[in-house]
A = this chain, B = another copy of it.
């Protein structure tokens, strides 16, 4: 029996019927060409055969003296946690996204270990999907992605399916673990990383007084107040999930052309898409939107500490021209980078904690609804660059499915995989109607930046010729 730490308790406390506090991931796999018609059912059967379920997958909540503890679930029911669904023919991606929207809107049963995985057959193009959700008190989004990564292989392994709730069996895994069971070490690392972002509401509370001082310091003036926006309404219990892959090489080419980072181009895409969407809803604020970007301060060897800072970037949604908008975003992000440059990671974390206080207060209590710290979270998690396999099924794409909150009705999360940036957009279906149009707007943004680059190059070429 283990008492939940205060951060995990906050995720339980924040949860309501309109605001589930679970995170998820959607993975899309192709079925091997020589597979039989029962391939996906066999995957389900195989997955359900791993009944030696490891912590935390076998641990449920138990309240004692009003305090939440984690205990082993003595009537663990793997069939409940691993579910087999299908799409109606022809298995359009649109139907898959509708299904994920529905599943992600439903609360987890608190009397059981709070995770569920859905193996979904019948996706168009001879594919199947796996959607997994975890309660945020069990693990955060980044950790969930890492844990899911553990069930994937670097090479196709017919019959060699792994599941995240099972101890790893390869020697490779064991070599990393030192004295302790390797899985536990990985699990500890996975749950530690990224937790700082999650902890912000609470950190915010603690440093409220720090913030009251910080606001009078010169640096704080750079932290602009975000405009009121339809994205910052209260949310309902229904969700819309939209996901799409965008070519990383196209984005990298643009980054090179504009002397920007991949992240700058991603922000410019999001900014354009948000601008187009808000115009379509007749709801574009005059002042530019502010995005909050969680940034990892980890170095390769920095271990498992909680080292995450925040950047509050202007999305320059008031700027009409896409190239000028990109420049304004770069300027805003660079400003933060310069500020962070000479600070130690401890200083950065203290600084971010101080700055994020109004954000935390907004999220947690809504007591300061007129002070909007930021309009939207855009979170970018680096993912694997090599092709991965679930047994012998090739992973075609993996999309984060995050959380929306009262006051934060849209979340944009993305992960890289091979030559793709995989966007997962989650919104309150009611506060942010027809959010799926954002996918087209993201494509449009990419096209617009390319066209502007091409015509600039053509102009330069003309100028060069003319000169």
Contact = CB atoms under 8 A, between A and B. Distances in A.
Interface in A40-98: 40-41, 75, 77, 80, 83-89, 95, 98
A110 B111 CA distance: 23
A89 B36 CA distance: 13
Contact of A41 (B41, B80, B88, B122): B88
A146 interface: no
Please indicate which of the listed interface residues A75, A83, A87, A111 has the most CB atoms of chain B within 10 Å of its own CB.
Answer: A111
A110 B429 contact: no
B105 A109 contact: yes
Given A106-B106, A433-B75, A85 B111 contact: no
A111 B18 contact: yes
Interface string A321-350: 000000000000000000000000000000
A237 interface: yes
Q: Is the interface of A mostly helix, strand, loop or mixed?
A: loop
A195 interface: no
A16 to B, nearest CB: 9
A109 B17 CA distance: 8
Given A18-B109, A237-B110, A88 B99 contact: no
B109 A107 contact: no
Contacts of A86: 85-89, 122
B87 A236 contact: no
A430 interface: yes
Contacts of A84: 88, 95, 98
Contacts of A236: 109-112
A237 B61 CA distance: 13
B107 A106 contact: yes
Contacts of A89: 37, 41, 86, 121
A102 interface: yes
B107 A237 contact: yes
B40 A111 contact: no
A45 to B, nearest CB: 12
A11 to B, nearest CB: 15
A18 B60 CA distance: 15
B85 A88 contact: yes
Nearest to A240: B80
A285 to B, nearest CB: 21
A236 B110 CA distance: 8
A124 interface: no
A88 B122 contact: yes
A84 B98 CA distance: 9
Contact of A111 (B83, B108, B121, B430): B430
A238 interface: yes
A106 B103 CA distance: 9
Contact of A237 (B75, B99, B111, B238): B111
A107 B429 CA distance: 16
A18 B110 contact: yes
Ranked nearest first, the 3 interchain pairs of A and B with the lowest CB-CB distance are A111-B236, A109-B237, A106-B106
8 contacts: A18-B110, A77-B430, A83-B102, A109-B236, A110-B236, A110-B237, A111-B237, A112-B236
Given A41-B89, A86-B88, A111-B238, 12 more contacts: A17-B107, A40-B88, A41-B88, A75-B433, A80-B429, A84-B95, A85-B88, A85-B99, A89-B121, A108-B237, A112-B236, A112-B238
